[in-house]
Amino acid sequence: MLIDSHAHLEMKEFTNDRPEVIERAKLAGVNIIVTVGTNLRLSREAVSLAGQYENIYASIGVHPHDVGKIGNTTYDELKELAGRKKVVAFGEIGLDFFRNIAPQLQQIKKFGEQLQLAKELHLPVIIHDREAHDQSIKMVKASGVRRGVFHCFSGDYEMAKQCLDWGFYLSVPGVVTYAKATTIQNVVKKVPLSSLLVETDCPYLAPDPYRGKRNEPAYVVQTVKKIAEIKGISREEVAAVTAQNTLDLFTIGASLHS
Ligand code: NI
């Protein structure tokens, strides 16, 4: 069992060959893909894909880059979407103080509101945190939300410990395969496998040897391989444990456990 816990298959980068991309993932042994909405329109697309493919699940929410698009009815529409089949998480939501596409104060306000929405909906959260580690963890704790994952984890080991103490998982992207990515490699080494998920975040962040190309779920295999090397364990164990962690966090199909 192998799961890509964070992809963006609904994005336009996959318009021309989405079925082939999904097929290649299957051939690479990726059993399940969680595709993650980043605004209302793309959240709808994510839910639609989950309806079309038995191995795809969806997450819904508004990414910090897109919070300027949140209108009067957006939250009501997200609530309605949350009731659809195979919606397993709320996100990605969070803070991006690196690109600052939306003003920081607006990001903070909308992140707080969406954390409350996730809580109301009893959904685990997928957190996007870039250059905003202290503020992100502080807001997650203040919200009282105890189930979630810091996706594309980019903090150090101290930050990782805080997330784990709060009961959150960390998701490892293809970045871990880059030679210079020593911070995430160190985190992977020290943090127990029972707290890790793996993801592609495709179409972004392709792992070596595909760096610079469009990423896709099949490439999550490279991330598993690197984690196995770092931890000195088998790829099968990394795949199986991270998959089980994902199933547990997102409470995906008990029938899959057999
Ligand atoms: Ni993402």
Per-residue pLDDT reduced to its tens digit, 36-62 = 999 999 999 999 999 999 999 999 999
Residue 31, CA distances (Å) to 23, 234, 247 in order:
11, 18, 11
% of the chain residues with pLDDT over 70: 98
First to last CA, the chain: 11
Q: 193 CA to middle of ligand 1, Å?
A: 21
Q: 200 CA to middle of ligand 1, Å?
A: 8
Q: 120 CA to middle of ligand 1, Å?
A: 23
Q: What is the pTM of this model?
A: 0.97
Give phi and psi for 68, each to the nearest 5: -65, -20
| Mean pLDDT taken over the chain | 97
Q: 8 CA to middle of ligand 1, Å?
A: 7
Angle at alpha carbon of residue 185, lines to 219 and 217, rounded to 5°: 15
What is the distance between the alpha carbons of residues 109 and 102, in angstroms, rounded to a whole number?
11
| Distance, C-alpha 52 to centroid of its chain | 20
What is the 8-class DSSP label of residue 214?
A: P
Yes or no: say if 243 and 235 are a contact pair by the CB < 8 Å rule.
no
Q: 67 CA to middle of ligand 1, Å?
A: 15
Q: 62 CA to middle of ligand 1, Å?
A: 11
Model pLDDT for residues 103-122, shown as the tens digit of each residue:
999 999 999 999 999 999 99
Q: 213 CA to middle of ligand 1, Å?
A: 16
Region 188-213: what's the mean pLDDT? 98
Q: 167 CA to middle of ligand 1, Å?
A: 21
Q: 199 CA to middle of ligand 1, Å?
A: 9
Q: 92 CA to middle of ligand 1, Å?
A: 7
Yes or no: say if 243 and 197 are a contact pair by the CB < 8 Å rule.
no
Region 18-27: what's the mean pLDDT? 98
Yes or no: say if 235 and 225 are a contact pair by the CB < 8 Å rule.
yes
Q: 170 CA to middle of ligand 1, Å?
A: 13
Bridge partners of 56, per DSSP, are 33
Q: 36 CA to middle of ligand 1, Å?
A: 7
Q: Is the pLDDT of residue 255 over 80?
A: no
Q: 201 CA to middle of ligand 1, Å?
A: 5
Bridge partners of 7, per DSSP, are 35
Confidence of residue 185 (pLDDT cuts 50, 70, 90): very high
Q: Is the pLDDT of residue 258 over 50?
A: no
Region 176-194: what's the mean pLDDT? 98
- Total length of the chain: 258
- Which residues lie closer than 8 Å to 134 by C-beta, 6 or more apart? none
Extents of the domains making up the chain = 3-257
Model pLDDT for residues 202-223, shown as the tens digit of each residue:
999 999 999 999 999 999 999 9
Yes or no: say if 140 and 148 are a contact pair by the CB < 8 Å rule.
yes
Model pLDDT for residues 162-175, shown as the tens digit of each residue:
999 999 999 999 99
Class of CATH domain 3-257:
alpha beta
Residue 234, CA distances (Å) to 107, 222, 239 in order:
40, 13, 9
- At 56, is the secondary structure helix, strand, or coil? strand
